[in-house]
Structure 1
Amino acid sequence: MLMEKVAEILAEASAEVVEPRFRALAAGEVMEKAPGEVVTIADREAEVIITRRLRELLPVPVVGEEAVAADPALALALHSEPACWLVDPVDGTSNFIAGRPDFAVMASLVRAGQTVAAWIWQPVTGTAYAAELGSGAWRDGRRLLRTPADDAPEKWRGSLKSRFLDPAEHHRLQTNARAFGHLTEGLRSAGMEYPQIADGDQEFIFYWRTLPWDHAPGSLLITESGGVSARLDGSAYRPDPPGCEDGLLVACDPETWERTRDILAGRLHQ
């Protein structure tokens, strides 16, 4: 019941305040919330609706991206509270503003610091992804099980999201990544990128910056479909408040994760 109800909440909030403004934002409906970061009225209104309805469903703290922008201390609930919701009302805001279709509406449920349920709604295509810890991952109600990657890294498709790294480390990663077959810069929306791995369209993604509302939903989707989402030391991803930890490698299966990490680190297989 919970899984279906949250999916409904995201789709309904999207239909009410996000989708009507896609390619129709009025003057004054795009604001700067921090240097270099923008937000729209759709982000803010959707978060208010989703927050209220999630708390009606389960009355625990809601860590929303826009609420945390106003009060960063709210994110501490991820460590201090037994349970909390995570909400990203419009993931891929820059795409939304530019009229590009790559944006999503996302939520997750975190218990004892671990993501236990996750939802991704892609409004333009009307595609719904969901995952529940220990129970599986689904796209539009159909179970997702990702097949392992081809054995040859030169055939793998991946993305490096490393622009927040220092220039020297960024260059090193880019150089080592030439071993892979096809690299992209990603879609500027975690809610669009993680499903690419679950759906079989890509083998790996490396992220440096890992804001919890961006990565909790997709990480659970990947692990429940047979893949790996882990820090570079091999520890499983757990949603932390912003600034706690960065660096995350996501891959379609455990062997691909290990080999991708080795290649990016410059370690060669004999």
Structure 2
Amino acid sequence: MSTAQVLEIIQQVADEVIRPRFRALTSDQIAEKGPGDLVTIADRESELRLTEILSHAYPDALIIGEEATAANPGLPPHLVGAEHGFTIDPVDGTKNFVNGSIDYAVMVGEVRHGRTVRAWIWQPEHQVAYVAVRGEGVTRNGEQVVRAQPSPDPAQWRGRSARVVIREREADAALPQISISALCCGVDYPKLVTGETDFLVYGRPRPWDHVPGLLMVEEVGGTGLLTDGSTYVPGVDGFGMVVGATGSVAASVRDALGARLGTRPTRTQPE
């Protein structure tokens, strides 16, 4: 399938399955997979639709969706050695979706031999599509994205995170105060790609959350680093990741955060 065709399918599924439920969910259409981890009928039905379409087009590809992984937690590691695979986050930012916030997204990533090669982020209520093809850059609604270089002064960098332990850190000369994220990777990553943010700090690098956005970041010169300093690989497990507009930004933030980066949250705190 062409890159444009995949985007059209994502948009169609969003229009038919997700958007009709936006601000119209009933209580029986919302459930908890775990403490504070919501899932809705829109998540489940849209993932099934996207999985069926991609599986039909690519019968040998490994499909790893967020909701499928909830039922089979052993799926993500298989992505590391897969010849071909896709990640699906049917409604990224489910809490936002449930609360009526327009900051949610549909995300799909394509991986071949351990490298992300194509990525799609569709923000249905914003009507904005970000698309990346490895080696060809990133587009926003068809227009090429050119990101300005971050300031050479770390005190001027703009960072975001959902993690309480990260945001509680006092600002200093090495790093400014870190703001709360949009609680949606499909909104946060595009802000980094377009230059509104300079770095992001995350907990567990779940593939459906990070595969699409990280390719886009890489295409504008950035990178994602794990706690040990290694570059993120689709499907790898662990805890603690910094995504920076450049490799030096990511490394500097990782060094400044130190042990906080790998500190796991309590069950009531976001990752």
TM-score with structure 2 setting the length: 0.88
1:226 Cα offset (Å) = 1.6
Partner of 2:49: 49
SS state at 2:234 partner: coil
Matches within 5 A, 1:68-107: 68-107=69-108
Kept in 1: contact 2:161–2:167 (CA 8 A): no
Could you list the runs of 4 or more consecutive aligned residues of structure 1 that deviate by over 6 angstroms after TM superposition?
Answer: none
- Quick one: which amino acid aligns to residue 63 of structure 2? V
- Quick one: which amino acid aligns to residue 258 of structure 1? A
Partner of 1:221: 216
Partner of 1:234: 229
Higher mean C-alpha displacement, 175-184 vs 244-253: 175-184
In the alignment, the residues of structure 1 paired with residue 172 and residue 162 of structure 2 have an alpha-carbon distance, to the nearest angstrom, of 12
Partner of 1:211: 206
Higher mean C-alpha displacement, 32-41 vs 253-262: 253-262
1:230 Cα offset (Å) = 2.1
Partner of 2:58: 58
1:240 Cα offset (Å) = 1.7
SS state at 2:228 partner: coil
In the alignment, the residues of structure 2 paired with residue 191 and residue 209 of structure 1 have an alpha-carbon distance, to the nearest angstrom, of 16
How much identity, in percent, do the aligned residues show?
Answer: 39
Structure 2 unaligned blocks of 5 or more: 260-271
Partner of 1:250: 243
Note closer, same or farther for the CA distance 1:50–1:179 as it changes in structure 2 (3 Å cut): same
SS state at 1:118 partner: strand
Number of residue equivalences: 258
Kept in 2: contact 1:11–1:121 (CA 8 A): yes
In the alignment, the residues of structure 1 paired with residue 48 and residue 226 of structure 2 have an alpha-carbon distance, to the nearest angstrom, of 32
Note closer, same or farther for the CA distance 1:233–1:146 as it changes in structure 2 (3 Å cut): farther
In the alignment, the residues of structure 1 paired with residue 22 and residue 174 of structure 2 have an alpha-carbon distance, to the nearest angstrom, of 39
Kept in 2: contact 1:176–1:264 (CA 8 A): no
Matches within 5 A, 1:1-270: 2-59=2-59, 60-163=61-164, 170=165, 174-175=169-170, 179-240=174-235, 244-265=237-258
TM-score with structure 1 setting the length: 0.88
In the alignment, the residues of structure 2 paired with residue 260 and residue 197 of structure 1 have an alpha-carbon distance, to the nearest angstrom, of 15
Structure 1 unaligned blocks of 5 or more: 164-169
SS state at 1:105 partner: strand
Question: What root-mean-square deviation, in Å, do the aligned CA atoms of Structure 1 and Structure 2 show?
Answer: 2.1
1:208 Cα offset (Å) = 1.8
Deviations 1:150-174 (A, max 9, x none): 12222211113434xxxxxx37971
- Quick one: which amino acid aligns to residue 35 of structure 1? P
Deviations 1:127-182 (A, max 9, x none): 0011122221111111222121112222211113434xxxxxx3797136675445
1:95 Cα offset (Å) = 0.4
